[in-house]
Chain A
Amino acid sequence: MRRILEYQKARSIDEALALWREAPSARYLAGGTDLLPRARAGGASPGRLVDIKGIPELAAIEELPSGDIAIGAAVSVAAVAAHPAVRRRFPALALCASALGSYPLRHRATVAGNICNASPCADTAAALLCLDAYVRCASPSGTRRISIHEWFLGPGQTSLAPGELAVAVELPAAAAGGRAELGRISRRQGVDIATVAVLLVAVPGADRRHRVAMLSVAPTPRRVPEAEDLLDRMGASAAAQAAQAAMSAAQPIDDVRGSAAYRREMVGVLLQRAARALGAD
């Protein structure tokens, strides 16, 4: 018995939504880099795949009049990492996108797909959390914007309603212009899921200057406001305390990639290093 029974290519958002509605257990297909291996391994067998890469509105990175940047759901991680405006204005996302997977994989994987898969280790999630991103979603009842802070509900779970389609990831202008430091520990130098990762972003002139996110140490990617407050109030001299706060906020588990104790400790090490590197002030 085949696991994937049908493939359909949508030409518009409305068509994608309709194709989902009429098929049992349909899934939207962007890069497929998580969806296909999972389907083959026997999990999440979609009866129908609705390919969204043919939808023009999803295919581009747009700089909006507001100064926000909208990244279409079908845009590859490689394109995001290489985009001049992303690199200049939101270097955190360029950094995290470059750390995701391998060179060939990055030509297929998408930012939207990365956060829809919602792994606790999702590389781009760290940047999106630090940048207070939004996810623009379409459903038969219309469009809405979900804050990234309300996006992740648990491992593999998002606040998308059934059949709702993530259309774009939006980076607010208010978070632009920052500097970013990514600390990432994995089992080898080359391609690997993060055993633990910490991202520190400093956005001058923003209400909250310092943003800290961590991966692989909680059921979802996580911001650490306690650490951010310390850095905002006391700058680089609070690096050690901020690290402590992050370590306390982490809820790591033991798994095949590493132990909870090591992950927790490395959260602190990585944040201290990021703070020093950024010369937090």
Chain B
Amino acid sequence: MGIPIRVMVNGQLESLQVEPDESLLAMLRERLDLTGAKEGCNEGECGACVVLLDGKAVNACLVLAAEADGREVTTIEGLGRAGALHPLQRAFLAHQAVQCGFCTPGMVMTAAALLRENPDPSEAEIRTALSGNLCRCTGYRQILDAVLTAAKEMRAAGERSPR
């Protein structure tokens, strides 16, 4: 009795039946076991649920699963893995920008989206883009340094963030 949707998640086509009030976040976490995106507030205030929707950073808690029909979603699980980390993931590790790690997937995805649009952001632009991702542990400094480092590395390598 659900709504049938076809959505590309991390490069893989998923055919699902979703409920009308089911959020994209719940769909990713419960149906696809992609638990990297977190529920922190369920009202778009904390950024822990940020994923890319057609390449743009969005709060997955405020997108209905049904709205993702025909779209492409990228989560932290699609960004990189051990042995093939994204430069942002490498930089977060190198700068100790990870403490409890709960905000990390959302933070990295927001940064990834930013760097797609703006490969050479100023620190002020990074702060603005990340200001919707709350972190209670790090005080943000090492996160900002990580994004600056990753941006530099990506420009040097001419890389583009994966779709």
Direct A–B contact in complex, judged by CB atoms less than 8 Å apart: yes
List chain A positions with a Cβ less than 8 A from chain B: 2-7, 9, 29, 31-33, 36-37, 39-40, 49, 51, 53, 78, 101-105, 107-108, 189-191
Contacts of A104 in B (CB 8 A): 44, 47, 50, 57-59, 110, 113, 132
Contacts of B62 in A (CB 8 A): 31-33, 36-37, 105, 108
Contacts of A7 in B (CB 8 A): 3, 20-21, 64, 66
B50 to chain A, nearest CB (A): 5
Alpha-carbon distance A37/B66, docked complex (angstroms): 17
A239 to chain B, nearest CB (A): 29
Total inter-chain residue pairs, C-beta < 8 Å: 86
Contact check, B47 vs A102: say whether CB atoms are below 8 A apart: yes
Contacts of B61 in A (CB 8 A): 36
Alpha-carbon distance A104/B3, docked complex (angstroms): 26
Q: Rank and list the top 8 A-B pairs by shortest CB-CB distance, nearest first.
A: A102-B132, A190-B131, A4-B21, A7-B20, A37-B43, A104-B57, A107-B56, A7-B66
Interface residues of chain B: helix, strand, loop or mixed (majority): mixed
Contact check, B21 vs A2: say whether CB atoms are below 8 A apart: yes
> CB within 8 Å of A: which of B17-51?
19-21, 23, 42-45, 47, 50
Alpha-carbon distance A37/B45, docked complex (angstroms): 10
Is there a chain A Cβ closer than 8 Å to B154's Cβ?
A: no
A50 to chain B, nearest CB (A): 12
- Can you list 14 A-B contacts (CB < 8 A)? A2-B19, A4-B20, A5-B20, A7-B66, A29-B64, A33-B44, A36-B23, A36-B64, A101-B132, A102-B131, A103-B128, A104-B47, A105-B44, A190-B131
Identify 11 new A-B residue pairs, CB closer than 8 A, beyond the known A51-B66, A103-B57. Answer: A2-B20, A3-B21, A5-B20, A7-B20, A9-B69, A31-B62, A33-B44, A49-B20, A104-B47, A107-B57, A191-B132
Alpha-carbon distance A3/B110, docked complex (angstroms): 30
Is there a chain A Cβ closer than 8 Å to B129's Cβ?
A: yes
Number of residues of chain B lying within 8 A (CB) of chain A: 32
| Contact of B131 (CB < 8 Å), options: A31, A32, A37, A191 | A191
Alpha-carbon distance A107/B30, docked complex (angstroms): 24
Contact check, A32 vs B63: say whether CB atoms are below 8 A apart: yes
A80 to chain B, nearest CB (A): 14
Contacts of B63 in A (CB 8 A): 32, 108
Question: What 0/1 pattern do residues 96 to 133 of B give for CB contact below 8 A with A?
Answer: 00000000000000100110000000000000111111
Contacts of A51 in B (CB 8 A): 66-67
Contacts of B53 in A (CB 8 A): 107
Q: Which residue of A lies closest to B43 (CB)?
A: A37
Contacts of A6 in B (CB 8 A): 20
Contact check, B43 vs A40: say whether CB atoms are below 8 A apart: yes
A261 to chain B, nearest CB (A): 28
Question: Could you say which of B62, B63, B114 has the most chain A C-beta atoms within 10 Å of its C-beta?
Answer: B62
Contacts of B42 in A (CB 8 A): 37, 40
Alpha-carbon distance A101/B132, docked complex (angstroms): 8
Q: Which residue of B lies closest to A32 (CB)?
A: B62
B58 to chain A, nearest CB (A): 5
Q: Which residue of A lies closest to B109 (CB)?
A: A104
| Contact of A103 (CB < 8 Å), options: B3, B45, B67, B129 | B129
> CB within 8 Å of A: which of B114-163?
114, 128-133
Alpha-carbon distance A144/B43, docked complex (angstroms): 34
Known A-B contacts A102-B131, A103-B110, A190-B131; A32 and B21 likewise in contact (beta carbons under 8 Å):
no
Contacts of B3 in A (CB 8 A): 7
